[in-house]
Amino acid sequence: MDKLEAKIRAGIRLTRNDGLTLLASNDIGWLGYLADIARQRISGNYVYFNVNRHINLTNVCTAKCKFCAFGCDSDSAHAYAMTKEQVLTVAAKAAEDKRLAELHIVSGLHPDWPFEYYVDIISALHTALPHIHLKAFTCVEICYFAKISGQSITGVLQRLKAAGLGSMPGGGAEILSDRVRREVCPNKASAAEWLDAARVAHKLDIRTNASILYGHIETPEERIDHLLALRTLQDETKGFQTFIGLPFHPANTRLSESISRVPAWEDLKMVAIARLMLDNFNNIKAYWVMLNPQIAQLALGFGANDIDGTVSEEKISHAAGAKTSQLLSTETILTLIRQAGRIPVERDSLYNIINIYE
């Protein structure tokens, strides 16, 4: 047994150097074998999914991130901004499926909408559909709301929680490195601000997710340091529910000339290394929309224990060239999980079990 395997079997925390060693390895079988040991110990044989619907309130965005094909100016031909009535209509239609458990709401940083508009949307959705969990607004959006409203992060989150916010998605983390952010997303929350918004949310008992956007200009060290920053915060707050690796999709972005989508090999490495480094995260998500369903299924053998949800409509990676379908039926998700030899478990947004498909 090699040294790393011995550490993982003994549940000993991996170091930065261990992470770099793993990332430098091209022995994909070994990485999967190691990650599977950790996955089995931390999360067993269940693979989680949920029945959810994404809603992106607007694509109008002031951030202008170089990796983004979704955000645009308000005078762009494909700009849109949903009214409260439109949001309620989409949500009510989605809720016709009685199994719908979650609305996942992420948007551009709109230059004209006041913070009150977002509060109003959450409040209206919560009133209309009190049984649906609202997983809304990334840490980047929360920082933006604080800026435009002049309120503190705590104040913003308290208002949203009182209006019906249930938890927060993990986007906007990109790479938690000032160098990378200066280069690709200088107009939004810094690494420290992103982490601080997550910290405050956790202190207010709002669970959040965490992501990484990999496969663009980041170095191996920056990827590992990103994981370490999340691990350190999780030690402090225990408020992260799941980690999601997002492979960069270059089409229609300002990086498309110089960068291609990383190969599947790299996706599986990212999943495995996240599982191994994030020893205090219960859940590692293989987001089928960005990976594709086949790679997401393979990722279940590389440390992932969650395959995300039915989704219904995804705009961010599809604007950047993702070719996956907009929707996976529950039946397809069950098949993907069962073919990997795992037990599908339908969950709510806080990982309470709704149904075990033995």
Q: Which of 240, 287, 288, 302 binds ligand V47 (CB under 6 A)?
A: 287
Under a CB-based contact definition with an 8 Å cutoff, are residues 209 and 169 in contact? Answer: yes
Report the residue closest to ligand V47, judged by CB. Answer: 171
Radius of gyration of the chain (CA): 19
Token readout for 246 is: 């997002």
Could you tell me the two tokens for 339? 């073919």
Residue among 55, 87, 101, 106 that touches ligand V47 (CB under 6 A): 106
Applying CB under 6 A, among 248, 281, 288, 302 the residue interacting with ligand V47 is 248
123 lies in the site for ligand V47, by CB under 6 A = no
Report the residue from 189, 230, 246, 277 that binds ligand V47 according to the rule CB under 6 A. 246
The number of beta carbons lying within 10 Å of the beta carbon of residue 88 is 17
Among 209, 297, 305, 310, which residue interacts with ligand V47 (rule: CB under 6 A)?
A: 209
Position 310 contacts ligand V47 (CB under 6 A): no
Q: How far are the Cα atoms of 67, 311, 349 from residue 132, in angstroms, in the given order?
A: 31, 14, 9
Q: Report how far residue 49's alpha carbon sits from residue 293's, in angstroms, rounded to the nearest whole number.
A: 13
Whichever of 30 and 351 has its CB closer to ligand V47, that residue is 351
Residue 281 found at the interface with ligand V47 (CB under 6 A): no
Closer residue to ligand V47 (CB): 127 or 260: 260
Closest CB 29 distance from ligand V47, rounded Å: 27
- Strand, coil or helix: 328: coil
Q: Of residues 58, 59, 211, 310, which one binds ligand V47 by CB under 6 A?
A: 211
Q: Does 172 bind ligand V47 (CB under 6 A)?
A: yes
Interaction of residue 316 with ligand V47, rule CB under 6 A: yes
Q: Of 11-19, 21-29, 154-162, 245-253, which part binds ligand V47 (CB under 6 A)? A: 245-253
> Which bin fits 252, alpha (ψ -120 to 50), beta or left (φ > 0)?
left
What is the smallest separation between the CB atom of 316 and ligand V47, expressed in angstroms?
5
Cβ–Cβ < 8 Å for 327, 312:
yes
Q: Any idea what DSSP says for residue 186?
A: T
CB 25 within 8 A of CB 270: no
Strands (DSSP E) along the chain, which ranges? 46-50, 52-55, 102-105, 133-136, 167-168, 207-214, 240-247, 283-285, 306-309, 343-347, 353-356
Fill in the amino acid letter for 29.
G
- Taking the complex as a whole, the smallest distance from the CB of residue 170 to ligand V47 amounts, in Å, to 4
Q: Is 170 in the site for ligand V47 (CB under 6 A)?
A: yes
DSSP string, 133-184: EEEE--HHHHHHHHHHHT--HHHHHHHHHHHT--EE--TT-S---HHHHHHH
Stretch that binds ligand V47, among 7-15, 153-161, 226-234, 244-252 (CB under 6 A): 244-252
Interaction of residue 317 with ligand V47, rule CB under 6 A: yes
| 195 or 290: CB nearest ligand V47 | 290
Q: How far apart are CA 35 and CA 297, in angstroms?
A: 15
**305 binds ligand V47, rule: CB under 6 A:** no
Q: Which stretch binds ligand V47 (CB under 6 A): 187-195, 274-282, 314-322, 331-339?
A: 314-322
Which range binds ligand V47 by CB under 6 A, 22-30, 153-161, 164-172, 324-332?
A: 164-172
In whole angstroms, the minimum distance from the beta carbon of 1 to ligand V47 comes to 35
For residue 353, give the 3-state DSSP assignment.
Answer: strand
Interface with ligand V47 (CB under 6 A): 67-69, 106, 138, 169-172, 174, 209, 211, 213, 244, 246, 248-249, 253, 287, 290, 308, 316-317, 320
